[in-house]
Amino acid sequence: MSDSTDQDKRPLSLGRTGGKLELRKPIETGQVRQSFPHGRTKTVQVEVRKKRVVGPGGDKPAETPAAAATAAPATAKSAAAAPARRPVVLPQGLTEEERAHRVRALKGAIADAEIRRQADADREREREEAARLAAEEAHRLDEENKRKAAEDDAKRKTEEADNRKQ
């Protein structure tokens, strides 16, 4: 009878004595927002995998492209908040002609963006100037109406005073 009670107290194991059968959490987890086409979003946890580097300094795990992709949303948010541009990474294996073409295209895109920004600033300046002129005109008309009303009031009072004297 005492044997069955001793067995009930001992946890199940797979060959190790005294070890517990349990699932371990992944080494690192990250959170990613999953968006659905109908507008709903859901935050899910993903496992970040690291690759072992064989060679000098093999103890340090290197980041894999999958881990870099999960880290990309976090860097995209910080890049959107800051006006600084991200550095351009050219893929390996391009010829000099292709590189030169890409550089020209990037410079053209940057110049176009600057021209659009300048045009937007000019339009905004013109809107502000038009609003200022309209406000000045409204103020001038208001002052003129007040002056006419004061003149009419003074004229009416002098006429009333003249009528009383007669």
Distance CA 165, CA 157 (A): 12
Q: If you write DSSP's letter for every residue of 14-27 in order, what string do you get? A: SS-SS----PPPPS
pLDDT at 149 > cutoff 80 = yes
**CB-CB neighbours of 70 under 10 Å:** 20
Residue closest to 67 by CA, chosen among 25, 27, 23, 24 = 27
In a domain, 78, yes or no: no
In a domain, 88, yes or no: no
In a domain, 121, yes or no: yes
In a domain, 19, yes or no: no
The residue segments making up the domain with residue 131 are: 95-166
In a domain, 8, yes or no: no
The 10s digit of each residue's pLDDT in 38-83 is: 989 999 888 777 777 776 655 555 555 555 555 555 555 554 555 6
In a domain, 156, yes or no: yes
The 10s digit of each residue's pLDDT in 105-146 is: 999 999 999 999 999 999 999 999 999 999 999 999 999 999
Structural domains counted in the chain: 1
- What is the model's pLDDT at position 26? 47
Structure tokens, 12: 């199940």
